Amino acid sequence: MITGASSGIGAAAAHCFAEEGASVVLMARREDRLRALAGEIEETGGQVAVVTGDVTNQADVDRAVDVAVAEFGTLDAAFNNAGQGTLGAPLHETEQAVFDRIMDVNVRGVWNCLRAQIRTMLTQGTGGAIVNTSSTAGLFATGAVAPYVAAKHAVLGLTKTAAAEYGDHGIRVNALVVGATRTDMVTSVLQEVDGLREADLVARPSSAGWPTPSRSLAPLPGSVATRRPSSREEWCPWTGLVGGLRASAVGGSAVAVSSGSGRACTGPRP
C-alpha cells in the first residue's frame, strides 16, 4: 500500500515495489494520475489496485487497506508517503489554516494510516513492514516553515512509538528522511521563492552518468553536501529495502537518503 502514489517519490516507489514482485495498492486524490501509473505497472506484468482517497479521511484509508486484503490476500508492507509542504512566513505570521492543513496531511495522515495498517497486520498475525516519509526538516529546523518542521518531527515520533509498541508482533516501522529531491512539491515550493524554472530543478546527467550540480540549490548554500537534489529514482530503492525482508533487523530508525542534506554535513565550501 502506497499513499501519495500519484506523483513524485510515491509513483517511483510503486514502480520499485512492482519490479520486486510486490502487488501494489496505489492511493492518492488524483484518480487520473493513479490510473495512468497503474497502466504502466500492468504493462510490465505487475499487479495493482487503485484507491482514490485522502489520507486525512480515516474511512478512505480503511478502504485502501480493505482493498489490499480483498485483492491480494494480505497487507505485508506499507509506504505512508502522502505529504504537503509550503514555504510560508515566520511563525508569528503563519495563518492558522496553513498550520492546520500541513499538520492534517503530514501528521493525521500518517496517524490514520498507521492505525488501519497495524490493526490489519495484528489480525493477520504475520507481521509486516511500514515506512513513513519524513524529511530533514524532521531532524533540524529552518525558517519560514514552522508547520512543516513540526509535522515532520511528529512523523518521526509516531514512527519510533509504533516501532516500540509493535516490534514484538513482527511489525517493523521505520522512516525515510528525505532531503532535497526533485518532485512536484519541491518544484512548486522553490518556484514560490524566486521563480526558479523547471529546467533549473533538473539534475542533469554528466558524462560519468551521475547528475551534476544544479542551480536549484543556489538559494540553499551549504545545505546539501552533493550540491544537487536527488532524483526520485535514486531515492525510491531505499523504500523497497527498508520495507522489505532484506532489512528485517531495522526498526524504529530514521534512514536518511538526503544527498548529504543537514547541518551535520555543512561547512565551508571550496
Q: Which active-site residues does the annotation give?
A: 148
Q: How are beta strands 171-178 and 254-257 bridged, if at all?
A: parallel
Cell of 155: 512523523
Burial of residue 254 (CB within 10 Å: 0-12, 13-18, 19+) is: middle
What angle, rounded to 10 degrees, do the helices at 146-166 and 109-124 form?
10
Q: Which of 148, 133, 136, 142 is nearest to 259 (CA)?
A: 136
Q: What is the amino acid identity at position 173?
A: V
What span, in angstroms and rounded, lies between the C-alpha atoms of 50 and 64? 8
Asked if 92 contacts 43 with a C-beta cutoff of 8 angstroms, the reply is no
Structural element, H or E, at residue 36: helix 31-43
